[in-house]
Amino acid sequence: MNIAIRQDLRTPQSLIGRVSLVTGSTSGIGLGIARAFAGAGASVVLNGFGRPEEIAETKAKLASEFSVRTSYSDADMSKPDSIHQMIEETLDSFGRLDILVNNAGIQHVAPLQDFPIEKWDAILAINLSSAFHTMRLALPGMLHNKWGRIINVASAHGLVASPFKSAYVASKHGIVGLTKVTALETAEQGITCNAICPATSTRRWSRHKSTGRRRRTASRASR
């Protein structure tokens, strides 16, 4: 899914000279974030899965539309060695990494007693451990430059729970806690670390018996 930025809503180019890396950014929310950084003048490193020709087209479109440098890493966010290679390649190509957005995430729904062990391990690895690895590898350069911005995309499930989402809820609560620790450790070094907790609403509707009009009967966070 391509998310367009309207010409009149683009951010001022306040990030010229900065380098951003957004995990899980070949589509959806991650790509929208990457486009916003490109619109502000930052170079962009994309990461994620997809058809090679579509990723190449996305990368080229960002570069031409916003006149910024772009690159792509196919790093598997469940593997520390692959994450390490992605950060090293970013530093080798651009000489710095200023902005890190940990957006990659997966989901699985099942009762706790039936939750597949391999799904638990994969969700914790991609949703939580990958952020630990990207941050620990990006921080030395940010500390050296005394400037950095880290954004961890959590979820409403980082604040509340839903049934049948044990791994997802655990990982998102974990990313909120990890963010707090990182923010405290870097607060005096010119580096900020924040978590955002987006949510979508699942709404249920019923007909009023006397009027026949539809009315909302329930709403809950579903992301």
Burial of residue 62 (number of CB atoms within 10 Å: 0-12, 13-18, 19+): buried
Mean pLDDT, residues 101-106 taken together: 98
Q: What is the pLDDT of residues 40-68, one digit of tens each?
A: 999 999 999 999 999 999 999 999 999 99
Position 31 in a domain: yes
Q: Is residue 102 one of the residues assigned to a domain? A: yes
Domains contained in the chain, number:
1
User: Is 72 a residue of the active site?
Assistant: no
Residues 19-33 have pLDDT tens digits of 999 999 999 999 999
What's the pTM? 0.86
Residue from 168, 173, 174, 195 carrying the catalytic annotation: 168
Which residues are CB-neighbours of 111 under 8 A, at least 6 positions away? 163, 164
* Domain assignment of residue 114, yes or no: yes
Q: Around 8, how many Cα atoms within 13 Å sit in the side-chain half-sphere?
A: 0
Show the CA angle centred on residue 17, arms to residues 13 and 21, nearest 5°. Answer: 95
CATH of residue 104? 3.40.50.720
Examine residue 42 and state whether it is found in any structural domain, yes or no. yes
